[in-house]
Every structure is written in structure tokens, then in C-alpha cells.
Amino acid sequence: MTIKDTIRKYTNELKQVTHIPAKEVEILMLHLLGKNTIWLHLNYNEEFTKEKELEVLVKKRATNYPIEYIINKASFYGEMFIVKPGVLIPRPETEILVENALEILKDKKETIKMLEIGTGSGIISVMLAMLIENIKIIAVDINEKAIELAKENAIKHGVENKIEFRLSNLYENVNEDDIFMTISNPPYIANDYKLPTNVKYEPSNALFGGNIGDELLKDIIKDTNSKKIPYLLCEMGYDQKAPLENYFKEFNIDTYNFYKDYEKFDRGFTLKFKV
């Protein structure tokens, strides 16, 4: 059976789990063949020799198992990152968080020290290390799998000398007093929220932030303030702007602003404390 016919055959099996079933079949084929999209399109009428292996992957994907975990990679900010089960999959909206940090840091001449809380696969720290010349980053997570994966991604992108990875619950193992900025995409979903089927395969400790959902965010705000760190940038839930804005009143804040994601939902904030 040709590549073209194989795509047509297996597309039907993924129509219930994705809005781009044919594209996902192609992605799985490319993963098996070790080829790129251009090669695939030039060889549509050639024989496909790995149908048995493809059938296994398609059936796995048809259970809503994330395709990123199957192919062990995900695109973020135009770069390809290693992804593994047990660590949160990168989301496109987190690119906005990177952009916001870049806006503050890009013109700094002196070396900046930054902390990332909940580094996951390391995408935020690795991208900022790639984009900013004079930066030193401490990246922490409570998940040992995440720390190991983040190290792999730092090495893959050649920035391992700029990032120190630590196992730490928030600021627990962070004692530095010269951090300029903390950045975080922490768990912010309420514990009783019913997740979509595909998200259930991702680690719960990277998703759920407490009974209300914003408990960890509030801990990060409080601890960042007590550490006298000037800037805090965080991602948040779409319905958390009002309670967080109210919480900001408990602190001596210079400026703050919220931002929206690509779907126009409230998605995060930038805080500048008076220090």
C-alpha cells in the first residue's frame, strides 16, 4: 500500500480524537521513518513499509494518548523539544510568558540571575538561555523526571552551562539573594476540575494547584515578595484574574499587568515589587 493510501486508511481511526487526523497520521509515519514532511510529500506514491508499526501507534493515539508522548517531541517557540511521559507537555500559550520575560530582560547589559519555578521539560529556561546572552538561570521542580528531561533539553540546545537545575518545592532549596526575576507556569487548576481525556495522561502534580486552584500561585507571590525579588511573571487560570488582583493588595507593588492568551482568555501576569 502506498503512503497516500495508508494515510487515507488510518485517518478515520483518529477522527474522534483530533481535528487534524490526516496530519497526525503523517506525523506518526514520519516518526517511524525518520523523515521530514517534504520527503513525505515527494514520496506519496511510494510503498509504505511500516504499516504494522503504524497501526500500533494509531491505536494508541485513538485512546486519546497524547501524540507528543508517542513521538517524544513537541514544538515550542519555533524549536523542537524532547518530551516524555511523566512530564507536562509544552503549550503554545506559554510562549507569551517567554515573550513577556524577554521584553524586560533583552536590554540588560549586566548578567541577570533568574529563577524558574516548575521547569517541567525546561522549555522556558532553555528558550530564555538561548535568547539572552547575559543570563544565569536556576530552574527548579519537585519532579525528578522533569529535572532530568529539562537537563536533556538544555544539552540538546547547547545552553546547559547557563542553567542550574535543582530539585526543590518552590523556594525550598533556593537561598540566593541576587535573583532579579522569578518566572513560573505553576499548577493552577482546581482539584475537582474534570480534565479532558487526553490531559489525564499528564502528571497531576503539574496541573492541580489546590482546592481553588490559585493556592500555589499565591504562595509563589508571597515568597517572591519576601525574597525581595523585583519581578515575578506567572501563567494562571482564565478565571483567576479577579482573586489574584485582590491578593496583590496585600503587597507593596510598583506595577502589575495581566495578559491574554491566543484565545483571548486571561492567562497570566507580570508583577514588579517595590524592593
Write the pLDDT tens digit of every residue in 212-258.
788 999 999 999 999 999 999 999 999 999 999 999 999 999 999 99
pTM of the model: 0.92
Same domain, 53 and 97: no
Same domain, 21 and 122: no
- Asked if residue 11 has pLDDT above 80, the reply is yes
The answer to whether the CB of 190 falls within 8 A of the CB of 208 is yes
In this prediction, residue 205 has a pLDDT band, given cuts at 50, 70 and 90, of confident
Highest mean pLDDT: which range of 120-129, 186-195, 209-218:
120-129
The per-residue pLDDT for 108 is 83
The answer to whether the CB of 55 falls within 8 A of the CB of 65 is no
The per-residue pLDDT for 47 is 93
Same domain, 109 and 242: yes
The Cα 89–Cα 96 span in angstroms is 16
Same domain, 172 and 212: yes
Number of domains observed in the structure of the chain: 2
- State which amino acid sits at residue 130: M
- Asked if residue 208 has pLDDT above 80, the reply is no
Same domain, 27 and 99: no
Domain interval for residue 240: 90-273
In a domain, 199, yes or no: yes
- Cross-strand pairs, 256: 271
The Cα 88–Cα 179 span in angstroms is 26
E-strand ranges in the chain read 73-76, 79-82, 112-117, 135-141, 163-167, 181-184, 189-190, 208-210, 231-235, 253-260, 266-273
In a domain, 130, yes or no: yes
Same domain, 7 and 119: no
User: For a pLDDT cut of 90, what percent of the chain falls above it?
Assistant: 86
Q: CATH no. for residue 259?
A: 3.40.50.150
10: its cell numbers: 488510518
In a domain, 74, yes or no: no
The arithmetic mean of pLDDT across residues 88-112, rounded, is: 93
